[in-house]
Chains A and B, each alone.
Chain A
Amino acid sequence: MIKFEILRRRSASDPPYTATVSYDRDADTTVAEALTYINAEILTDDPVAWEHSCRQKKCGACAMLINGVPKLACDAWLRDYPEGVIRLAPLRKFPPVRDLMVDRSVMFENLKMLGAWLTENADGDTEGTAYDASRCLQCGCCLEVCPNFYAGGKFSGAAALAPASRLISEAQGADRKRLYGAYNERFYRGCGKSLSCRNICPAGIDTERLLVSSNAAAVWKRLFRRGKKK
């Protein structure tokens, strides 16, 4: 028997409350599946709102706090909580919407302000940085644990480091200069390098490696890629 304590709220303006649900099925499943079951069979008339899509830890939709830790619900297994209590709460760094849903638009707005795009053709990256960094889910787990990130601030956290690193690793010409500047302003200057973001990323992105390589290019201007040393 597992006890789910779910932090709910009807809307952003309603006060939060805790709903307790007993779940007595197979523990060899994920929090996402348990939530689906709870909604279909137990809280049928008042299901818990949460975002989900791929159910295989590839889309970032289902990020939430599970016993206080930001995680993907489809990648959190009940068997890993032998204490028998699982507390679900919405991510705290984003404005609440309803139940476990939060409004993560700030991540996309930040990328817009950073100018996260190329205007010229990509210059093939040979170090694998573009591939690793492109795997970012924009889930927001890293922002949740980052001591320096808050919604509305200029510092955009690791959720911007990843896309910026992919672009920096492939940019040429005018894009390079523009992205270096934006990286400095919206990431490098605000990052305390505490690396709290490193072990939390559900996509397993090595933020330290991205940080080192992007700093080398954008801050220290040492063009680190083969054949591009000037």
Chain B
Amino acid sequence: MKVINIIGAGLAGLSAALTLAEKGIHSRLISVLPSERAQSVLAEGGINAALDTMGEDDTRELHFEETMRGGVMLADPAAVKALTDGAPGIVERLAALGVPFNRNPDGSLMLRSFGGQKKKRTAFAQSSTGKMIMTSLIDAVRRYEADGLVERLSHHTMIRLLIKDGVCAGVRVRDDYGGRLYDYAGTVIIACGGLNGFFPGITTGTDANSGMAASVLFAQGVKFANLEMIQYHPTTIGIPGKRCLVSEAARGEGGRLFSLKDGVRSYFMEERYPTLGNLMPRDVVSREMYSELRGGAETFLDMTGISDGTWENKLSDLREEIIHYLSLDPAKEPIPVEPGIHYFMGGIYVNTRHETCLPGLYAAGECACIYHGANRLGGNSLLGAVFGGMTAAQSVSGYRDRPRLTDGAFNGADELDCAPSEAFSASLGYMLREGLGIVRNDSGIRAALENVQMLGYGNAAERAKKALAEAMLYSALGRMESRGAHYREDFPETFEGFRSVTAAEYRDDAVRITFEDIGQGGVDNDKV
């Protein structure tokens, strides 16, 4: 019996499992923690689709164009076209599954403004969109768990891929409760989320996304892309152990950024960008905030102009959260905000079918590099996770492979059955943030690279993590231009010649970076 192994039970993993189950294909949903604890539940602001319910003549073409432009033309247009065309159907399906989206008086889905988009295009459920979508998808998948079509292996960590004859033949996992290792045969879909673990304590995401699954894949030869593209979200606040996001919905609903220096307020985004103002793409806003901060100003988000009705019906959770953490009521006074690491556009290099460079291995969700180019638009990643999971599952369903392994406990020792120490991860994180800030330059990246290269490793997990960290820095060093989230003060222009993918590979114990034409990722599994 064909069983597909899905690593990760966030939005992308659930979407893949559901799609497979609806086709009658068995899957194992393997994750460190249950779906309720995945980062996807944190998403607040919404999910994009050109549903055109707000009387603004929105179109799929415009969604496509703005996604491409937001990503500064670095994404694969064919993939983005499929994504933006598929978006309305996806959001309608989610509503049919019971996601309590906010609605217009006529019953149609209400849409809000989000960054980098001229039309209202973001469907939302107050400011807990991710949680609402996850709850509905978890229930939808549960039905197939009861049927036996989906087998849940929560509290299981991926240890390594099992590669045979140059094909991904299965995966080795550890049951974190008992500590035992198991080998599971079959095609693998990776849906392990973003690389938060490379920046411990300073991202808006979850610390359960350790980045180790990605590190192991990289060490095993899987090709990655655009690793230098790290999104800083303009509005975050420091809370114990992390940066807490203040959703872009705050600005979508009327929040305004200003800086304060010597008692003078400057609404710098509105002054510098009259059309989109506070809703410019995130890379632009974060950079402007950075320059305000560097100039000695403090930066604030002013939401005092938002109406009581909007607070109550669209942003109630956000207000509660801000009061809880800052003891400030955002409806009454501005709150201090600063940019923080939020999303990884780069990741496992896949093609439109979500195939990786390794036959039998697929990837979807935030761990994969495909839709967002050099900068992701808010509301496009929930969409990308659901659509990517579906697409990967559809591709897998047509992939004919023969079994190359049998399932069973693995009783030997695996050198990757370990984790980086907290001290190692903390040091590495510190070095990376020095080299990969909002504004970068050659000497800063080189200094970070030297530090990382000198960092000793104590086990195979640390070694793998170090290799992927080096790849991030080499990618940033090699892209001698500024594009989207990657801003080089020594190369502030965008060059057409760099409109290509930064591909990173680990071969013979060394990181290799090449620039490849867009859209060349992945092998066509049907032709292997």
Contact = CB atoms under 8 A, between A and B. Distances in A.
A2 interface: no
B206 A115 contact: no
Interface string B465-478: 00000000000000
A144 interface: no
A186 interface: no
A88 interface: no
> Interface residues of A toward B: which range?
35 or more
Given A119-B143, A124-B107, A131-B132, A54 B39 contact: yes
Contacts of B143: 117-119
A206 interface: no
Contacts of B42: 54, 56, 58-59
B272 interface: no
A60 B37 CA distance: 7
B33 A112 contact: no
Nearest to B425: A40
B190 to A, nearest CB: 19
B206 A53 contact: yes
Interface in A138-159: 138
A5 interface: no
A59 B155 CA distance: 15
A32 B241 CA distance: 8
Contacts of B36: 59-60, 137-138
Contacts of B447: none
Interface in B31-50: 33-34, 36-39, 41-42
Interface in B407-443: 422-423, 426
A74 interface: yes
Contact of B152 (A103, A108, A119, A130): A108
B313 to A, nearest CB: 10
A29 B240 contact: yes
B142 interface: yes
A167 B139 contact: yes
A116 interface: yes
A58 B36 CA distance: 9
A183 to B, nearest CB: 14
A131 B98 CA distance: 10
B302 interface: no
B481 interface: no
A44 to B, nearest CB: 8
Contacts of B121: none
B125 A131 contact: yes
A33 B41 CA distance: 21
A108 B242 CA distance: 29
Contact of B96 (A40, A44, A98, A121): A121
Interface string A81-123: 0000000000000000110010111001001100111110110
B124 to A, nearest CB: 11
Given A32-B240, A122-B96, A131-B126, A97 B33 contact: no
A97 B175 CA distance: 12
B139 A55 contact: no
Interface string B211-250: 0000000000000000000000000000111101000000
A125 interface: yes
Contacts of A136: 135
Contacts of B97: 118, 121-122
A40 B98 contact: no
A214 interface: no
5 contacts: A54-B41, A118-B143, A122-B98, A124-B100, A166-B98
Given A58-B41, A59-B36, A136-B135, 7 more contacts: A32-B240, A36-B241, A56-B42, A59-B37, A61-B33, A125-B100, A130-B100
9 closest Cβ contacts across the A-B interface? A122-B98, A117-B143, A134-B135, A33-B240, A53-B208, A59-B37, A121-B96, A130-B100, A40-B422
Interface of A: 29-30, 32-33, 36, 39-40, 44, 47, 51-56, 58-61, 74, 97-98, 101, 103-105, 108, 111-112, 115-119, 121-122, 124-125, 128, 130-131, 134-138, 163, 166-167, 170
